Amino acid sequence: MAILRLVAILLLATSILPGCGSLPEAPQTAAPHEAIAWIERQFKTCSGKDCPTPTRKTLALVELPIAKKASAPPIAEPLPKVAPVVRHEEPVTATVLFEFGKGAPSADGQKALKRLTAIAANFQRIEIDGRTDDIGSKAYNDRLARRRAEFVRSWFLKQGIDAEIVVRAEGLCCYLDTALTETARRNNRRVEVRLVNRQDAVSNSKGAQ
Which domains, ranges and CATH numbers included, belong to the chain?
Answer: 92-200 (3.30.1330.60)
Query: Mean pLDDT, to the nearest integer, of 51-64?
Result: 61
pLDDT at 3: 61
Measure the CA–CA gap between 156 and 97, rounded to whole angstroms.
Answer: 16
How buried is residue 176: exposed, middle or buried, by Cβ count under 10 Å (0-12/13-18/19+)?
A: exposed
State the virtual CA torsion across 36, 39, 41, 44 in degrees, nearest 10: -40
| pLDDT attached to residue 20 | 45
> Phi and psi for 13 in degrees, rounded to 5?
-65, -40
Find the mean pLDDT for residues 170-183: 96
Residue 126 pLDDT exceeds 50: yes
With beta carbons less than 8 A apart as the criterion, state whether 155 and 113 touch.
yes
Q: What confidence category does residue 64 fall into, taking pLDDT thresholds of 50, 70 and 90? A: very low
Nearest to 165 by CA among 118, 123, 104, 105: 123
Tell me the whole-structure pTM to 2 decimals: 0.56
Measured from the Cβ of residue 1, the count of other Cβ atoms closer than 10 Å reads 5
Mean pLDDT over 135-141 rounds to 97
Q: What is the mean pLDDT of residues 189-208?
A: 77
Q: Where are the alpha helices (DSSP H) in the chain?
A: 2-20, 56-61, 107-119, 138-158, 182-188
Whether 96 has a pLDDT exceeding 60, the answer reads yes
